[in-house]
Structure 1
Amino acid sequence: MKKIFAAALISTASFATALPAMAADYAIDTRGAHASINFKVNHLGYSWLLGRFDTFSGEFSYDKSNPSAAKVAVEIDTKSVNSNHAERDKHIRGNDFLAVDKYPKASFVSDKFESTDGETGKLYGKLTLRGVTKDIVIDVTKVGEGQDPWGGYRAGFEGSTSFLMKDFGIDKDLGPQAASVHMDLHIEGIKQ
């Protein structure tokens, strides 16, 4: 995936004190399974069908002194959908829903982040699913950041959003309660 973040490096402490703080780039930690993209859809008004995508990658840029400059890019392998039921997953991968043979990837690329306190905010961007690109808004909360036990630096966020399936060309009618997909995102990044 093409990297969309420009890295800013400052080589000496004297420059660091003279220049404004620059955003740091983070790779989403999928190797350590410290990130997840989960979804739920109402089932007939009686319960929730829960699932996740097992394979995805991405990166983000974040500076706590300038959170409005944050950027995010994520790519999802739609074939990796997992609802803990093999036959249902086969149906979800099919043409009624994700059509993974034709659209093997989904993606999200942010446009802007609005925050009043630096800890919570709204992340605006474009979600591409089934070849359709639409604007969505993700409600974001910072979980924390700091040194890890292995000498690295990490930052973590959680977010939630929802969208109508029909907006992305999914016309399967499962009743009005099932018209929306609700997504929960848990992202931990390792500073690069």
Structure 2
Amino acid sequence: MLNLKKSLAALALGTALLSAGQAMADDYTIDKTGQHAFIDFKISHLGFSYIYGTFKDWEGTFSFDAKKPEASKIDVTLKTTSVDTNHAERDKHIRTADFLDVSKFPEAKFVSTSVKSTGEGTADVTGNLTLHGVTKPVVIAAKFIGEGKDPWGGYRAGFEGTTTIKLKDFDIQKDLGPKSQELELIISFEGVKK
């Protein structure tokens, strides 16, 4: 009888471990090599139009399980000197102490702290954004685009997300007028399963 109890306990433990393994999120590397990933931004120019830009040098990883999105995580680091607004003189100015101060703060980083499902394929991703030497919590409104096998034998998952930040929250004090106090970040990427 004791052996039967031990066998049942071992079977229960094995089943629990197997179930836990199946519930674990898969790890992905964001596909910057294939240029299937973007961190873009949009900011008003004096209230007359918008300036759009991107960061060309960044990398990141994420974990994702469609059945348990709350277990997802993301970690992204970008090189601030890679800012590109399609205008060399403006980019040079953005890199100065007036804005990004890239010589002092060469990197920006986002690390998620929680993911909360908000509907079918959508979630609020809360995390710490470090920019210009300041770390603040932000919430990214994220949307799951899709997942599946790719033509090269890999497995991919893709997302997009947006958030709006106030420049002064990150100690960027240059004042371009009341219409230019906030910047919208747009993140879009595919990840390849490790």
Question: Does TM, normalized by the shorter one, top 0.5?
Answer: yes
> Which consecutive segments of 4 or more residues in structure 1 shift more than 4 A?
14-17
Letter in 2 for 1:144: G
- Distance across 2 between alignment mates of 1:98 and 1:146: 37
Q: Per the alignment, do residues 16 and 23 of structure 1 end up closer, same or farther by CA in structure 2, a change over 3 Å counting? A: farther
TM-score where L is the length of structure 2? 0.89
Of 63, 85, 88, the residue aligned with 1:83 is: 85
Of 151, 164, 167, the residue aligned with 2:166 is: 164
Give the root-mean-square deviation of aligned CA atoms.
1.5
1:118 deviation in Å?
A: 5.0
**Corresponding residue for 1:19?**
19
Max Rg structure = 2
- Distance across 2 between alignment mates of 1:173 and 1:70: 37
**Corresponding residue for 2:45?**
43
- Distance across 2 between alignment mates of 1:77 and 1:191: 24
- Distance across 2 between alignment mates of 1:126 and 1:32: 27
- Distance across 2 between alignment mates of 1:63 and 1:15: 20
Give 3-state SS (helix, strand or coil) of 1:39's partner.
Answer: strand
TM-score where L is the length of structure 1? 0.90
Extract unaligned runs of 5+ from structure 2.
Answer: 1-13
Identity, in percent, stands at 51
Of 137, 150, 153, the residue aligned with 1:151 is: 153
**Corresponding residue for 1:101?**
103
1:44 deviation in Å?
A: 0.8
1:147 deviation in Å?
A: 0.3
Extract unaligned runs of 5+ from structure 1.
Answer: 1-13
Give the aligned length.
Answer: 179
